[in-house]
Amino acid sequence: MTAYPSLHMIIGGEKVSGGGRRTFDVVNPATGETIGALPLAEAADLDKALEVAAEGFRIWRKSTPQQRAAVLQGAARLMLERQEELARIATMEEGKPLAESRIEVLMNVGLFNFYAGEAQRLYGRELVRPTGQRSVIRHEPVGVVAAFSPWNFPIGNPGRKLGAPIAAGCAVIMKSAEETPASALGVLQCLLDAGLPPQVAQAVFGVPDEVSRHLLASPVVSKLSFTGSTVVGKQLMKLAADNMLRTTMELGGHGPVLVFDDVDVDRVLDTAVPGKFRNAGQVCVSPTRFIVQENVFEKFRDGFVERAKAVQVGDGLAEGTQMGPMANPRRPDAMERLIGGAKDAGATLHTGGERIGNQGFFYAPSVLSEIPLDAEIMNEEPFGPVALINPFKGEDEMIAETNRLPYGLAAYAWTDDVQRQRRLADEIESGMVGINSHMIGGADSPFGGVKWSGHGAEDGPEGVLACMVTKAVHEG
Ligand code: NAD
């Protein structure tokens, strides 16, 4: 039985806590009970983290590709050894079923191993010039990265925030979500135990607005990497502009799913329903707006409702749980508001639409249909266990609905018509498109959005290049 660990920050390899610092109560979302007290950074802690990170960058930018690869591979091995402990802690903090937490650890293992390879493939190029002249294009690490990550992937998000800068030769100050600190600390500890110089990566926690204002105002920081809501992302980009920081912004979405009448509806439901209720819908690439061709609308909707009713909801640590609680009390509150608003606007609620039990933050798997397009839930990311299913006539109308919103993170389309598949890949405004698949990621594939879903990518070679700047050196 894994006990929830005591909490601290990590600055220069030192565990920092106590000392009269303010604390934040970490809560188990399945029980509502407080399980830990997280120390929050004071200004002096952030200054110390900046000073150490500046030193970390001076050290790590000179590391060899092999040193970077050895640290990342070593950390991947340790994460695998510690998989069960890390997964249990993530479930205690965030609520997701243990099986999902275990997969998150494995995703990090794959990502760190991929980045270990990328660290050794950071090539530049030499241009053709007259004899006696030389022009070389080099990629250099950008510097100190301020990386802010959210609570929904307590292991995976910190893995992304740490892995790419370390592969690129940068230093990092990570502020992961205060709701899920122990998972982030566990990931960083694997890197430190694998030989990462302690100056290279720091983990701080605090009042988010205080921390981001302090760090982004410092000349030590060269890049902001943020995952979270579009609203907060826009605020942070404004702060980043003052110091002309580079940014990678991984923001919200509203996952459109186009279902055409030439597909086997059950085949779509087999992946769409588990995809929808994964992590109780608190996933930026969650399938959300189901745009269904009218001939198969009723069959699709009824099949969805039947399967949603069968989802086993419970404590993520319990055997057989398919969906855990929502991660914090803000989420069921948001569900009540958004689903209530949709019903008031004339939508039909087929199942769910209510909290479950009187402890923790459980909310029932929910299905709405025939939702007016101006209802708030059709325009704001619901980030919860609700499927929105509407009928549409044909391809043009379905594509128009897909591109209606300012978001463009992940989109999914189901059709067996090969020509239409190509048209959809061309027409859909989204950073990632799944055709007959809900799998849209992988360690080797860029993960990121367009429009209000942000810019830049994590994962893939693009994730490492996003932590680098180019320099052109021309010799006469
Ligand atoms: P939020 O927008 O306040 O916070 C989102 C994340 O950003 C949290 O981890 C938070 O700690 C962090 N944050 C907030 N203000 C910050 C600041 N000034 N500086 C640095 N970090 C800051 O709201 P929330 O209630 O945690 O989540 C609500 C919404 O956020 C969701 O509805 C969803 O749209 C979005 N969200 C997106 C992702 C994602 O993967 N893209 C993850 C979590 C939440």
| Ligand 1 atom index nearest CA of 231 | 2
Q: Residues of the chain with pLDDT > 90: what percent? A: 99
Residue 2: its pLDDT value, please?
A: 84
Mutate to test the pocket of ligand 1, among 229, 279, 288, 440 (most ligand atoms within 8 A of CB): 229
| Ligand 1 atom index nearest CA of 330 | 25
Mean pLDDT for the chain overall: 98
- Report yes or no on whether pTM surpasses 0.85: yes
Q: How confident is the model at residue 198 (pLDDT cuts 50, 70, 90)?
A: very high
**CATH superfamily name and code, 255-443:** Aldehyde Dehydrogenase; Chain A, domain 2 (3.40.309.10)
Nearest alpha-carbon partner for 427 in 416, 419, 437, 438: 419
Q: How far is the CA of 229 from the centre of ligand 1 (A)?
A: 5
**Domain assignments of the chain as residue spans, ordered by start:** 9-251+453-475, 255-443
Q: How far is the CA of 211 from the centre of ligand 1 (A)?
A: 14
* Each residue's pLDDT tens digit, 12-32: 999 999 999 999 999 999 999
- DSSP SS3 for 10: strand
Pairing of strands 144-149, 171-176: parallel
* Each residue's pLDDT tens digit, 276-312: 999 999 999 999 999 999 999 999 999 999 999 999 9
Residue 450: its pLDDT value, please?
A: 98
Q: Residues of the chain with pLDDT > 70: what percent? A: 100
* Each residue's pLDDT tens digit, 381-408: 999 999 999 999 999 999 999 999 999 9
Residue 241: its pLDDT value, please?
A: 98
Residue 103 in this model has a pLDDT that exceeds 90: yes
SS3 content of the chain, % helix, strand, coil (to 5): 40, 25, 35
* Each residue's pLDDT tens digit, 432-458: 999 999 999 999 999 999 999 999 999
Q: How confident is the model at residue 231 (pLDDT cuts 50, 70, 90)?
A: very high
Helical ranges in 280-433 per DSSP H: 294-309, 330-344, 395-402, 418-427
Nearest alpha-carbon partner for 299 in 266, 277, 321, 344: 266
Q: How far is the CA of 232 from the centre of ligand 1 (A)?
A: 7
* Each residue's pLDDT tens digit, 30-88: 999 999 999 999 999 999 999 999 999 999 999 999 999 999 999 999 999 999 999 99
Q: At what angle do helices 208-216 and 230-242 cross, to 10 degrees?
A: 30
Nearest-CA residue for ligand 1 atom 22 is: 208
* Each residue's pLDDT tens digit, 202-225: 999 999 999 999 999 999 999 999
Q: How far is the CA of 148 from the centre of ligand 1 (A)?
A: 9
121 contacts 56 by C-beta, under 8 angstroms: no
**Neighbour count for residue 368 (Cβ, 10 Å):** 27
Q: Which CATH architecture has domain 9-251+453-475?
A: 3-Layer(aba) Sandwich (3.40)
Nearest alpha-carbon partner for 184 in 77, 104, 303: 104
Q: How far is the CA of 136 from the centre of ligand 1 (A)?
A: 41
Ligand 1 interacting residues, C-beta cut-off 6 A? 148, 150-152, 177, 208-209, 212, 227-229, 231-232, 236, 250-252, 284, 330, 381, 383
Q: Two tokens at 70?
A: 């050895």
| Ligand 1 atom index nearest CA of 212 | 19
Nearest-CA residue for ligand 1 atom 5 is: 228
Catalytic site positions: 250, 284
Nearest-CA residue for ligand 1 atom 26 is: 150
Q: At residue 321, what are phi and psi to the nearest 5 degrees?
A: -70, 130
Are 9-251+453-475 and 255-443 equal in CATH topology? Answer: no
